[in-house]
């Protein structure tokens, strides 16, 4: 709670400073709009539906990408537990692909996949898959030997070993991997949308920023950035905190 | 607590110092000019001016001339706001958007009237009516002249100016051409010479809309705009620059053969091909179509308001067509 109050204090300070700088008229309005015009612009965009549509579209695309990415990462990690050869293959893939920013793949993706939402999903899957797979592999290795022996003793099948021993035991790794994946996916999404434009009819939040830029709507630009920050904070500080509370803390797994 | 307050004060002072420094980076030198342009045959007079060193010959030796090539109009506008660029070349719609948002600039000259066209490879698309909501249209950016012309045509033919606004994809001319050729998800490309001519030469590509059809008359494709700061503080340099530009335009019109040879190297085409494309272009200092663009953009919400008198957007003495 104390932390929240402090954060609130700092946000207010930033707004106050912003207003003061605005009032000094050091910069033209087009470079530095007032906080009030930014908030008006934000409300307008929410009320006329364009902001909601953009947020909805972006979230839909990112969850598609996250879902596919998580599915692939879990499958790859399962296979690595089953066959050691596969693990070395996956580890090689990770060391090649993990440091590569999704946006760097852009020219190739345009040639191979085109420019619609599939291309953005591809970039998100790329951002999600490698950090998550890496975390899962590390997590599986950290599962205490005794758990595995217990599982074998009571005669669990391979699939059940995965679902009831490996996955729950490496949950902290899974969740922290998911956090990294989300952060990377969110950044990749916004940049990809600014380049690809309105994929499939409606554009997402990145496209909204781009449109604000070309129409020189600086207040709208700030408004979109505030929305991006808010969604980032909500997911990282609220959604993930909630998941951790319900799982890791409840089960006493939090380190 | 005292310690914390000290920190806060320190932080605020730091921020102020940073902000005010950014605000003070206006250029001090007087004998220095920066010109921004983009890619395409529409900018030929500028290329001629550069290649023949026409400006250098007229200016004192210590004058610094910066030629900047930027990828899109938004970047040119942004550079002009912060004072990195004095003269920028672009179409009328992006100029008006900047003007409406309070940029201190005016048009100094017309440059080019050019054919521009919407090209598709899809056989079943003959007119705008045949474009489905799934067909994506590549053009430089929303708010560009291509976008406004497309909206004009959409209003005329389909009764809805915003009809295609959600199926645009922003691409530079070369990227758009590439995307059209691979026939994946870009169905149509709104472009200008030489890309226009090159696309039309490809088997199966055809034009479904021309700029002239959309507008109903000739219009300036590119104009030159200057910041008031440059115009007011460097009047002499300003005059020399635009007189020289006028001479470059005259040179192309009087010696097209020679100009084509010069330009062919820059655009990596044969002189014959270049000459052929040059025939379609009209290089003129007269600004055309500014009223039509302004009225249409206000009526359809691309601008909130526009100029009352033409003097607000054109410098004194600039020729324009009503």
ipTM of the modeled complex? 0.75
- Of B43, B30, B108, the closest CA to residue B69 belongs to B43
| Average confidence score pLDDT of chain A | 86
Does residue A202 have a pLDDT over 80? no
Q: Which residue of A has its CA nearest to B93?
A: A215
Over residues B223-250, the pLDDT tens digits come to 999 999 999 999 999 999 999 999 999 9
CA distance A98 to chain B (A): 28
Residue A231 placed within a domain: yes
Confidence grade of residue A206 (pLDDT, cut at 50, 70, 90): confident
More confident residue, B3 or A199: B3
pLDDT for res B259: 93
Nearest Cα of chain B lies from the Cα of A150 at a distance, in angstroms, of: 54
Of A112 and A153, more confident = A153
Which pLDDT score is estimated for A26?
A: 79
pLDDT given at position A223: 92
CB contact under 8 A, A114 and B19: no
Phi and psi dihedrals of B20, rounded to 5? -70, -30
Look at residue B16 in the predicted model and tell me its pLDDT. Answer: 62
Instruction: Give the chain A residue whose CA is nearest to the CA of B20.
Output: A26
pLDDT number for residue B302: 92
Q: What is the mean pLDDT of residues A88-102?
A: 88
Chain A interface with B: residues with Cβ < 8 Å: 13, 17, 21, 26-31, 110-111, 114-116, 195-199, 201-203, 210-211, 213-218
- Which segments within B19-130 are labelled E, that is strand? 32-37, 64-69, 87-90, 105-113, 117-120
Q: Is A5 contained in some domain?
A: no
Of the candidates B119, B111, B110, which has an alpha carbon nearest to the alpha carbon of residue B210?
B119
What kind and span of H or E run contains B169? strand B168-170
Residues B80, B89: Cα–Cα separation, whole Å: 11
pLDDT of residue B86: 95
Domain that holds residue A163: 39-249
Nearest CA in chain B to A197: B169
- How many contacts (CB atoms, under 8 Å) link A and B? 78
**From the CA of B101, how many Å to the nearest CA of chain A?**
6
Q: Which carries the bigger pLDDT value, residue A151 or residue B12? A: A151
What is the pLDDT, as a whole number, of residue B27? 46
Nearest to B50 by CA among B29, B76, B68: B68
* Residue B114: predicted pLDDT: 93
- Average confidence (pLDDT) over A120-147: 90
Q: Which residues does chain A have within 8 Å of residue B82's beta carbon, measured at their own beta carbons?
A: 31
| Domain count across chain A | 1
Output the CA–CA distances (angstroms, integers) from residue B10 to A99, B7, B13, B39, B150, in the order listed. Answer: 38, 5, 5, 47, 53
Per-residue pLDDT, A32: 83
Residues linked to residue B238 through DSSP beta bridges, in sequence order: none
Q: Do B168 and A198 touch (CB under 8 A)?
A: yes
Nearest alpha-carbon partner for B27 in B66, B72, B73, B69: B66
Task: Identify whether A25 is part of a domain.
Answer: no
> In this structure, how many other beta carbons lie within 10 angstroms of the beta carbon of residue B8?
11
A15 occurs within a structural domain = no
Query: pTM for this one?
Result: 0.81
Inter-chain residue contact B102 with A26, CB threshold 8 Å: no
Q: What is the Cα–Cα distance from B266 to B51, expressed in whole angstroms?
A: 9
Walk along chain B (322 residues) and give the pLDDT tens digit of each residue: 556 677 766 666 666 666 555 544 444 446 789 999 888 889 999 999 999 999 999 988 888 999 988 878 888 999 998 889 999 999 999 999 999 988 999 999 999 999 999 999 999 999 999 999 888 899 988 899 999 999 999 999 999 998 898 888 888 888 889 889 888 778 999 999 889 999 999 999 999 999 999 999 999 999 999 999 999 999 999 999 999 999 999 999 999 999 999 999 888 889 999 999 998 899 999 999 999 999 999 999 999 999 999 999 999 999 998 8
Query: What is the per-residue pLDDT for B222?
Result: 95
> What is the C-alpha to C-alpha distance for residues B234 and B31, in angstroms, rounded to an integer?
8
Cβ within 8 Å, pair A216-B101? yes
Lowest mean pLDDT among A38-47, A100-109, B135-144, B194-203: A100-109
pLDDT in tens, A179-188: 999 988 898 8
pLDDT, residue A196, reads 67
pLDDT given for residue B24 in this prediction: 47
Q: How many CB atoms lie within 10 A of CB A58?
A: 25
Helices (H), chain A: 2-23, 35-47, 50-82, 84-97, 106-112, 117-141, 145-153, 158-161, 167-169, 171-196, 205-214, 218-233, 240-244
Q: B21-42, pLDDT tens digit by residue?
A: 554 444 444 678 999 988 888 9
For B143, the closest of A111, A198, A215 (CB atoms) is: A215
Residue A167 sits in a domain of what CATH number? 1.10.3720.10
Flag whether A6 is in a domain. Answer: no
Residue A86 lies in a domain: yes
The span from the CA of B146 to the CA of B36, in Å, is 20
Q: What span, in angstroms and rounded, lies between the C-alpha atoms of B103 and A187?
A: 31
Interface of B with A (CB under 8 A): 8, 12, 15-16, 19-20, 22-23, 72-74, 77, 81-82, 94, 97-98, 101-104, 133-134, 136, 141-144, 166-170, 179, 182, 184-186, 302
In a domain? residue A236: yes
Does residue A175 have a pLDDT over 80?
yes
Partners of residue A199 in chain B, C-beta under 8 Å: 169
- Structural domains of chain B ordered from first start: 30-114+221-312 (3.40.190.10), 117-215 (3.40.190.10)
The Cα–Cα gap between A254 and B81 comes to: 52
Specify if A211 maps to a domain: yes
Among the partner residues B22, B102, B166, nearest to A202 by beta-carbon distance = B166
């Amino acid at each position: 709670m104390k932390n929240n109050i402090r954060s609130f204090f700092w946000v207010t300070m930033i707004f106050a400073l912003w207003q003061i700088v605005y009032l000094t008229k050091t910069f033209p309005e087009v470079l530095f709009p007032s906080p009030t015009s930014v908030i008006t612009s934000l409300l307008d965009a929410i009320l006329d539906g364009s902001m909601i549509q953009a947020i909805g579209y972006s979230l839909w695309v990112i969850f598609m990408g996250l879902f596919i990415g998580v599915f692939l990462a879990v499958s790859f990690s399962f296979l690595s537990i089953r066959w050691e050869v596969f693990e070395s293959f996956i580890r090689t893939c990770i060391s090649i692909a993990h440091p590569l920013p999704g946006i760097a793949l852009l020219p190739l993706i345009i040639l191979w996949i085109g420019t619609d939402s599939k291309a953005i999903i591809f970039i998100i899957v790329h951002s999600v898959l490698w950090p998550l797979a890496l975390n899962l592999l590390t997590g599986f290795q950290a599962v205490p030997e005794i758990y595995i022996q217990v599982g074998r003793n009571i005669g669990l099948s391979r699939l059940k070993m995965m679902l009831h021993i490996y996955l729950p035991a490496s949950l902290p790794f899974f969740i922290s991997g998911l956090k990294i994946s989300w952060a990377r996916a969110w950044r990749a999404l916004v940049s990809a949308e600014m380049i690809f434009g309105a994929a499939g009819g409606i554009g997402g939040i990145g496209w909204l920023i781009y449109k604000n830029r070309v129409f020189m709507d600086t207040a709208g630009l700030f408004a979109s950035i505030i929305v991006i920050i808010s969604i980032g904070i909500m997911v990282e500080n609220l959604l993930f905190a909630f998941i951790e509370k319900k799982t890791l803390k409840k089960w006493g797994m939090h380190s | 607590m005292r310690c914390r307050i000290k920190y806060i004060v320190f932080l605020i002072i730091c921020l102020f110092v940073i902000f005010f420094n950014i605000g003070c980076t206006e250029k001090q030198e007087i004998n220095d000019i920066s010109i921004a342009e983009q890619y395409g045959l529409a900018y030929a007079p500028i290329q001629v001016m550069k290649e023949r060193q026409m400006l250098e010959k007229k200016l004192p030796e210590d004058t610094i001339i910066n030629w900047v090539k930027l990828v899109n109009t938004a970047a040119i506008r942004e550079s002009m706001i912060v004072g990195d660029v004095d003269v920028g070349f672009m179409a009328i719609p992006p100029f008006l958007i900047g003007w409406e948002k309070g940029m201190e600039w005016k048009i100094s000259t017309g440059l080019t009237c050019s054919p521009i066209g919407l090209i598709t490879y899809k056989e079943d698309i003959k007119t705008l009516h045949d474009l489905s909501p799934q067909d994506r249209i590549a053009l430089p950016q929303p708010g560009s002249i291509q976008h406004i012309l497309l909206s004009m045509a959409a209003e005329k033919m389909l009764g809805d100016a915003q009809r295609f606004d959600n199926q645009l994809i922003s691409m530079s001319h070369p990227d758009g051409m590439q995307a059209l050729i691979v026939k994946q998800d870009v169905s149509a490309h709104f472009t200008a010479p030489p890309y226009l001519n090159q696309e039309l030469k490809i088997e199966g590509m055809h034009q479904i809309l021309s700029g002239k059809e959309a507008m109903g008359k000739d219009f300036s494709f590119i104009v030159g705009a200057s910041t008031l700061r440059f115009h007011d503080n460097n009047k002499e340099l300003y005059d020399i620059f635009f007189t020289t530009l006028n001479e470059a335009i005259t040179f192309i019109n009087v010696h097209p053969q020679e100009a084509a040879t010069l330009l062919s190297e820059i655009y990596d085409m044969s002189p014959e091909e270049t000459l052929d494309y040059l025939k379609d272009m009209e290089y003129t200092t007269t600004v055309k179509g500014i009223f039509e663009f302004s009225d249409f953009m206000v009526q359809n919400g691309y601008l909130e308001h526009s100029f009352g008198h033409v003097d607000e957007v054109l410098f004194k003495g600039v020729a324009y067509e009503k």
